[in-house]
Amino acid sequence: MTAKALIAPVVLGVAGAVFDPTGRVLLVKQSYMRGWRLPGGGVARGEAPSQALTRELAEEVGLSGGVAEFFGLYSRKAGWATNVIALYRVSGGEIAFRPNWEVREICFADPLAPPDGTTPATLRRLAELAGARPRAEHWDA
């Protein structure tokens, strides 16, 4: 391990683009960040990204079931760390959402016409998922 790795760690996260049968995508408003975004969160030590996605979606929006397909891997600066995000496309399953300490509100939206207030990074991921934009390597690009 290099000294750089000790002062600039990498944190792994997951995000899920959950689609309903009509092709709308699930967006969330979190209590601690502004704007509509894709649900997700951190991967615990030793946890597989797909397991973290299942756990995060159950905790945040009450998703049970569903099929997750890996879509892409992104990086972004997050303070003094590098955040690597595994994005999954999710279909099927049932959502039993109740507002909670982390997610205050959800909506299903047309991925090419999301609601006002959708974050720029989320707009880019939605365009990529729809095939309207090539995939980027950086979350904020």
Looking up residue 43, the CATH number of its domain turns out to be 3.90.79.10
Domain membership of residue 80 as a residue range: 10-129
Examine residue 15 and state whether it is found in any structural domain, yes or no. yes
The predicted model scores a pTM of 0.92
pLDDT of residue 1: 56
In a domain, 85, yes or no: yes
User: Is 3 part of any domain?
Assistant: no
- 136 part of a folded domain: no
Tally of domains in the chain: 1
pLDDT tens, residue by residue, 1-17: 565 556 778 899 999 99
pLDDT tens digit sequence for 39-77: 999 999 999 999 999 999 999 999 999 999 999 999 998
Q: What are the Cα distances from residue 40, in Å, to 6, 15, 93?
A: 26, 4, 16
Q: Does residue 2 belong to any structural domain of this protein? A: no
Task: Please report whether residue 81 resides in a domain.
Answer: yes
Distance CA 73, CA 92 (A): 22
